[in-house]
Amino acid sequence: MISLRSRLTVEAARARFEWWRRTAPSRGRADAEALRRDLTEYCDLRWRVESWAAYGVETGLLARARARFSGSQFEGLYERWKAHGSRAIDEFVDRDRCPDLGHVQLQIDVLPYRYGFFGSALAPLAERGVRRAA
């Protein structure tokens, strides 16, 4: 038989999980849209600077963007963007940013005993300064 405390803990965990499963896709979509926008701005800014189409662009702005989007995956993305336009960014962002969580489930197993009791049995000895035999 499950104690009331354990049952409430399990119900709270289930409720938190259901909230996460309901809200995670919308948060993922919002994050994906922000990433899509930032990547588009970065690629456009970088292209304008490299092609001398932008005069007076703050170099710090491009430096910050390059620091954020450094790495081989972003270099490859920039090359694909030059060849295919915004479709390359859409494919990059949609690939892993918005997972479908409909199949995710939560399984909770409640242990039949209060295992914390075993660790607390020696606590009174430690409080009194008594050393255990080694």
Domain presence at residue 50: yes
DSSP state of 52: T
Q: What is the pLDDT along the chain (134 residues), one digit of tens a residue?
A: 667 777 778 888 888 888 877 777 666 677 788 888 899 988 988 888 887 766 666 667 778 888 888 888 899 999 999 999 999 998 888 765 556 666 777 787 776 666 666 555 555 555 555 565 55
For the chain, what is the domain count? Answer: 1
Domain presence at residue 54: yes
Burial of 17: CB neighbours in 10 Å, binned 0-12, 13-18, 19+: middle
Domain presence at residue 22: yes
Domain presence at residue 16: yes
Calpha distance 95→91 (Å, rounded)? 6
Model-level pTM? 0.52
Calpha distance 4→27 (Å, rounded)? 34
Domain presence at residue 133: no
Domain presence at residue 98: yes
Please give the residue range of the domain that contains residue 98: 4-127
Domain presence at residue 134: no
